[in-house]
Amino acid sequence: MNGGTLVLLSGGIDSCATLALYLRRSSAVSALFVDYGQAAAGQERAAVQRVAAHYDVALSMAECTGLGRLEAGYVRGRNALLLHMALASARFEIGQIAMGLHAGTPYADCSPTFVAEMQRGFDLYCDGQIRAVAPFIDQDKRGVVAFCREANVPMDLTYSCERGASPPCGTCLSCLDRLALNV
């Protein structure tokens, strides 16, 4: 597909890996960070800025207000919200919007079915010209980390604590993932 790639960059390992992957494939890559009231927004924003600077990629910021301060952990509809915010902000007519989703999670919005359903919505608006993609959707977190190590992705610049703690709490699911994978 010709055109741009907009990577939804959250500051975590998965989105950083996604950015690195698409930068290997094309120079027409940009990134978007969305603050939707998540507990870790400040820490995530700082990580996104570090990652974007490391890769010298254009970074946009979007804010979704009115939802109130959200609790740490699962947020129903989060990935759909992020994809639609990205679609609304995409600066190209042909291209793709990439997310760092991976297999092995219990969440419905981290599945191939979810990506296919989101694509149906994108097709409604864009007639198939903009794709919703998740290049790691068939790999588990270990596969994503293996890619990061092989590609020299700067995982030390990322941030993954759902509580937004500094230092990271070490007890939320994201922190436990990092500990288990020795990241």
pLDDT of residue 67: 80
User: 51 to each of 94, 130, 156, 159, 172, how far by Cα in Å?
Assistant: 25, 25, 10, 10, 22
Residue 6 parent element (H or E): strand 4-8
Q: pLDDT digits over 48-91, tens only?
A: 999 999 999 999 999 998 887 777 777 788 999 999 999 999 98
Q: Does residue 8 register a pLDDT over 70?
A: yes
Q: What is the pLDDT of residue 157?
A: 97
**pLDDT (tens digit per residue) in 11-29:** 999 999 999 999 999 889 9
Domains and CATH numbers, the chain: 4-180 (3.40.50.620)
| Residue closest to 34 by CA, chosen among 15, 57, 54, 53 | 15
Asked if residue 160 lies in contact with residue 43, where contact means CB atoms within 8 angstroms, the answer is no
pTM of the model: 0.93
Q: What is the pLDDT of residues 90-138, one digit of tens each?
A: 988 899 999 999 999 888 999 999 999 999 999 999 999 999 999 999 9
**The pLDDT of residue 26:** 84
Check: CB of residue 151 under 8 Å from CB of residue 23: no
